[in-house]
Amino acid sequence: MVLSANRNELFHEAAKFIYSCYVELELSYEEQIMRVKEIEEEIMQSGTYTHKEFEVKHGAKMAWRNSNRCIGRLLWESLEVFDERQVTTVEEAFDKLAHHIRYATNEGDIRSTITVFAPRKHGVDPLRLWNHQLIRYAGYEQDSSVIGDSTSIELTKMCERLGWKGERSAFDVLPLVIQEDGKLPKLFDVPKELIKEVPIIHPELKDIADLEMKWYAVPIISNMLLDIGGIEYPMAPFNGWYMGTEIGARNLADPDRYNMLPSVAKLMGLNTKSSRSLWIDKALVELNIAVLHSYQEAGVTLVDHHTAAKQFKVFEKKERECGRQVTGNWTWLIPPLSPAATHIYHKPYKNDIVTPNFFTQKDPE
């Protein structure tokens, strides 16, 4: 039997993954050949194939290693992988997601984690998450302003249409929106005891506490597709831990997000009428100091951008020693604060896409 074009492409991706995976796991050449033949027969018969558990686990780790936007890839081998491909209902899925949050949070000693659910099969997604992250703040439009997180406005509206009602504060945690194929999405409130949040304080500027800023402990990305050997997993939430600037220089600082720099500058007594005063820069540094200090005081894992860049340099060295080229998206790898003070700013990276990897995907319908 001759494979069709689509099946041949899938087989090519599968074989490429198996050879790489098995070599890295020091499995024999005979095992590689046997597994590739097994997959070829399965694709001929069904048009797809099923990964073994260890293939999913190592494939997910490889996907993190190949993620061009991530500066924290040094620890890719430490990723904890939960294989939940057998889950079929939204109720079961929520239980597994709650476990992921609890396990990853670990009372602040954050563990890099991914939970892999059933793969896309013949274009059908057995389960999908509507959320961008498992923990994320709601956003409410109010006249010409926004209360909360502007990136969550559409999902917040959807949740409200489905019956959810938040407190309309700046930090309302959205429910999880999970959908089975062919059914309407369902809402599940994340239990409060699972949500660890960090109030933002400053070691010297005590008045920053009066701004009542906070952020959640763990960034668990939940809307990306995991591709391993041509098999697509549309629901595979994963997390590392935050780099301080993600919160202090973006989430809380961006004008179209929480826009807290004017408030920080005001309590610092800075001249905000002239950009030449560099009030933005001064406020930005102090807000980032506050984030780093707050997470340390709360006992929550967080890395500063200078340490993260040094770790990435070690990652590059290790990859070279393994004979692998480090790919990267330079615009994402440079930190949003003092990028020129890191080695990353001064060198080019090829933004080639290597699989396994994580990819953006269309929102569920």
Catalytic residues: 70, 73, 241, 246
- Identify the bridge partners of residue 295 per DSSP, sorted by sequence position: none
- Asked if residue 289 lies in contact with residue 203, where contact means CB atoms within 8 angstroms, the answer is yes
Q: 175 preceded by cis ω (within 30°)?
A: no
Tokens of 323: 């004979």
Closest CA to 116 of 85, 78, 76, 80: 85
**Are 162 and 187 contacting, i.e. CB atoms less than 8 angstroms apart?**
yes
Contact 218, 196 (CB under 8 A): yes
